[in-house]
Chains A and B, each alone.
Chain A
Amino acid sequence: MEDKLIIGGVELESRLFTGTGKFPSKEVIRETLEASNSQVVTMALRRVDFDNPEENVINYIPDNFTLLPNTSGARTAEEVVRIARIAKAAGCGNWIKIEAISDNKYLMPDNQETIKATEILAKEGFVVLPYVSPDLMVAKRLEEVGAAAVMPLGAPIGSNRGLKTKELIRILIDEINLPIIVDAGIGKPSHAAEAMEMGADAVLVNTAIATASDPVKMAQAFDYAVQAGRIAYLAGLGAVKDYASASSPLTGFLKGE
């Protein structure tokens, strides 16, 4: 069955986006990414620590992946734009995941700064994927200013709590004519399947895979869950009812008249 997601002119068969943070070692990143069947991978940009110069994470990303650098560390639109331009100049392509965050406890995105940055970067030709709190009016503004997708959070970053914002994400799926990629909070494959079943176009998973006892196996589990959820969505879920509705005929018993 042909069921592709197209973002920024790139056709994607996999609807699982994978992050590269929090892995126990860089060596396991490559194997995990391959097992995930994913095609889009995120990473962050940081100053080199001269006392401890680590190897670049890009060296561990297979060549066939679309790179999606994020702007983590940015608090304002201005900082987002600066990081995006640096990432592009570094040869990362023109995809950018916007994170504009100044709240250190819940890491909640600043939707207003995100809209400003999206407008600037979309005009510069970036394929902009903004990470936001799920809000219909914000998502509509992002659509107007040229976002390539909208990435609503399911729960705070790294919390593994699942789709706490499910009803709000559902509204975005219904009303926004852009791919909706659920990002943050997805803690287990069933959460990913749940997002896909309700019609999300993709999910981004990092912590749940990277901090699993066996990240490679967990990546595979997420791949299957995302596929299962998508197929279920395409198949059309049955209606939810308050009372029983027999699956077997209720007439023609052996006993009786």
Chain B
Amino acid sequence: MKIKINGQVETLEQKVKLTEFLECKGLELDRLVIEYNKRVVGREEWEDIILKDQDSLEVLRFVGGG
């Protein structure tokens, strides 16, 4: 199945939980901002999200800026 992550298409072998997917990417989950299918989802919703074909995901974080 294919999902779009930060503008890039990625192929996944099977459905996977959002939190597991993020951990596999080596990300610390604290303070990440997730937009799932164009909707910002709060931390409490992450556990219930299972990525499926054609999903779109934006994974964002705060960086230095003025």
The reply on A207 being an interface residue by CB < 8 A is yes
The reply on B55 being an interface residue by CB < 8 A is no
Using a CB-CB cutoff of 8 Å, which residues 1-44 of chain B contact chain A? Answer: 5-7, 25-28, 30-33, 35, 40, 42
> What's the least CB distance linking A49 to chain B, in Å?
8
A-B contacts counted at CB < 8 A amount to 99
Chain B residues within 8 Å of chain A by Cβ, number: 23
The contact string, 1 if C-beta is below 8 Å from chain B, for chain A 37-72, is 000001111111010011111110000000001101
Q: List 14 A-B contacts (CB under 8 A).
A: A26-B64, A42-B65, A46-B60, A47-B6, A47-B58, A47-B60, A54-B61, A55-B28, A56-B31, A70-B66, A86-B60, A90-B40, A90-B62, A184-B66
Check if B64 sits within 8 Å of A20, measured CB to CB: yes
Using a CB-CB cutoff of 8 Å, which residues 99-127 of chain A contact chain B? Answer: none
Chain B residues engaging chain A, CB cutoff 8 angstroms: 5-7, 25-28, 30-33, 35, 40, 42, 58-66
Check if A20 sits within 8 Å of B33, measured CB to CB: no
Closest B residue to A157 by beta carbon equals B66
